[in-house]
Chain A
Amino acid sequence: MAKLTSDVTNLSGIPIDPVYTAANTPNLQLPAPGEFPYTRGIHRDMYRGRLWTMRQFSGFATPEETNRRYLYLLSQGQTGLSVAFDLPTLMGYDADHATSEGEVGKCGVSICSLEDMEILFRGIPLGDVTVSMTINSPAPIIWAMYLAVGEKQGIEWSRMSGTLQNDILKEYIAQKEYIFPPRPSMRLVTDVIEYSTQRVPRFNPISISGYHIREAGSTAVQELAFTLRDGIEYVDWALERGLPVDSFAPRLSFFFNAHNDFFEEIAKYRAARKIWAEVMRNRYGASDEKSWKLRTHAQTAGCSLTWQQPQNNIVRTALQALAAVLGGTQSLHTNSLDEAYALPSEHAVTIALRTQQVIAYESGVPNVPDPLGGSYFVESLTAEMEKRASDYIRRIDEMGGMIPAIERGFPQTEIANASYEYQHTIETGQQKIVGVNAFVEENEPPIEILQIDESSQQHQLEKLKNLKSRRSNETVSNTLDALKRAAQGRENTMPYILDAVRAYATLGEICDAFRDVFGTYTETSVL
């Protein structure tokens, strides 16, 4: 028999009342959608004016194979591209590096040079399709390759749009794909923001992310707080560089998780917009309303999907996607049912895309901006999340900022504790996970999964050998020397990275040049 306990807290530890009434929101002041502070959405019309972008994160094996998957997804109604790179690429190693053994193409596409980027975007007009690239430590290099491909397609940079994740702070906090120490890394992030502001004005040079923080085990409140406080750190660095706030703030973008607790997630996005709008106007004195509007991508929670009874994941993803839409996301990725097994099969990713399309075209939900606005529960939860996240932000301010907080292990410890406590609720059965510790089935049938074998590595190795014999190694060497000199100084490194990229220096070679100058980073583990 189902038992309803009378004391309920949600996953962030917020107590949930047995019922919500007008008494929960006594002095509710709620500006309209499109009005400061945008709690109800950044546009007056939201999805009636334009649907969110359906942007499936994708990439595996070789650029050739990933290009085929991109053309497939675009043909199936996806409206934007999102590139997943393999671990060697993410960590700044070429496919022929010793550390890349067994890793090439397994978690994303292998990109070793401009040649690979050209193949990746073959037949895809970069002036018409926007591309998001999930890359952090080597972000400036991958971005340079993207811009160089645009050049070769004959497209003006002023027409190119897209997003670069380029959010190094959350690497130290959660995703751990750092190469260099924090301060040189922040310099590179700021180089990209500055260069983008000046030369590629339609581009989003950063995607300030909470997704990974949440996947590492944080609560929704921590995800909200640490993401926005990372944003504050980036703004501070850009201002320190001498950029006027309204010159870059409109192009800052965000990336949140869409997790299981339906109403908490909706409240999270609403609170995020309110906090950020007030930070930009009051803390920074931004006067362009575009600087106040938090624009975000969302991805449904990979960590919530199960190995057991994988078809249930379709349901989880659908609910999470709906929460993101009700929460007003600008862009959305839906995970595939085989998330716990492998990268998405073509069949699974098609269902994931169809999930978005059903919500968009059949549910009626996009017809009204912020349809839950005014709900006693959602407004109460929004206010509570705003309060708790603001407390965290204040605490990190008092520590001197996010970099000092990271150096003393503060966000990492919060996340480790939250993830351990959460695991405990599953161990005791207090938190039921269907198919895992409740409604378990024995002898489940196997599912078809995407296989990536070692041929990707072979293919990439041959291409690299070939490339190095065709290019002018002297030119490459000169560009890398010039890059190192710039890195040692205070110039923006982007022009030098572009020169190296155009000469077909490899990703690994350029990262090694930076490693020589900046050194590498090893974390002090927090359990």
Chain B
Amino acid sequence: MDHRIRVLVAKPGLDGHDRGAKVIARALRDAGMEVIYTGLRQTPEMIVNAALQEDVQVIGLSILSGAHNAIVPRVMQLLKEKGIADVLVTVGGIIPDEDAAQLKKLGVAAVFQPGASLESIVDFIKSSVKQIA
């Protein structure tokens, strides 16, 4: 049986800047995780459905467009509605500190701002998923 951590890396909204999401997806793969990259311009509905179908333990949302306050709460709401609120959600991108604090109140486990190391992201996911299991 495959015990690899399963991660969905997603680009919600209209933002097409995918350099960070792709580098992280690859780094997580190199760190031994099973990574599904959704591609661009996903709606919250598409992301949550993919998470459900792919049975992931982690969703990584990449948002650089400033639309995070509209998008992330919707994702968190849908995860609850679909009964998979225990999925670990992390957000990366251009997220000001005050907004990051708000997102964490909604249940986002971590917000990775520009300059976050790949190592810190990998370590966070590895230690957090072990806790949940």
Interface of A is mostly: loop
Interface residue range, chain B: 20 to 34
* Chain A residue contacts of B94, Cβ below 8 A: 340-342
Q: A416-B22, A523-B39 given as contacts; is B65 within 8 A of A87 (CB)?
A: yes
Closest to A308 in B: B115
Q: Are B16 and A176 in contact (CB under 8 A)?
A: yes
Report B111 CB to chain A, min CB distance, Å.
Answer: 12
Q: A419-B23, A427-B119, A527-B26 given as contacts; is B96 within 8 A of A449 (CB)?
A: yes
Q: Are A102 and B69 in contact (CB under 8 A)?
A: yes
Interface of B is mostly: loop
Interface residue range, chain A: 35 or more
**CA distance in complex: A342, B22 (Å):** 22
**CA distance in complex: A515, B105 (Å):** 40
Q: Are B22 and A107 in contact (CB under 8 A)?
A: no
Q: Are B65 and A175 in contact (CB under 8 A)?
A: no
**CA distance in complex: A217, B25 (Å):** 15
Q: Are A102 and B115 in contact (CB under 8 A)?
A: no
**CA distance in complex: A306, B15 (Å):** 20
* Chain B residue contacts of A420, Cβ below 8 A: 22-23, 26-27
Q: Are B37 and A527 in contact (CB under 8 A)?
A: yes
* Chain A residue contacts of B81, Cβ below 8 A: none
Task: Tell me if B106 is interfacial: C-beta within 8 Å of chain A.
Answer: no
Report B106-133 CB contacts with A as 1/0, cut-off 8 Å.
0000000111011100000000000000
Report B40 CB to chain A, min CB distance, Å.
Answer: 6
Q: A87-B65, A103-B67 given as contacts; is B19 within 8 A of A307 (CB)?
A: no
Q: Are A102 and B119 in contact (CB under 8 A)?
A: no
Task: Tell me if B32 is interfacial: C-beta within 8 Å of chain A.
Answer: no
Q: Are B14 and A88 in contact (CB under 8 A)?
A: yes
**CA distance in complex: A437, B117 (Å):** 9
Task: Tell me if A91 is interfacial: C-beta within 8 Å of chain B.
Answer: yes
Query: Which 4 interchain pairs have the tightest Cβ spacing?
Result: A102-B70, A176-B16, A106-B66, A87-B14
11 contacts between A and B (CB under 8 A): A87-B65, A87-B67, A99-B41, A102-B69, A176-B16, A340-B114, A342-B66, A420-B22, A423-B118, A427-B117, A449-B96
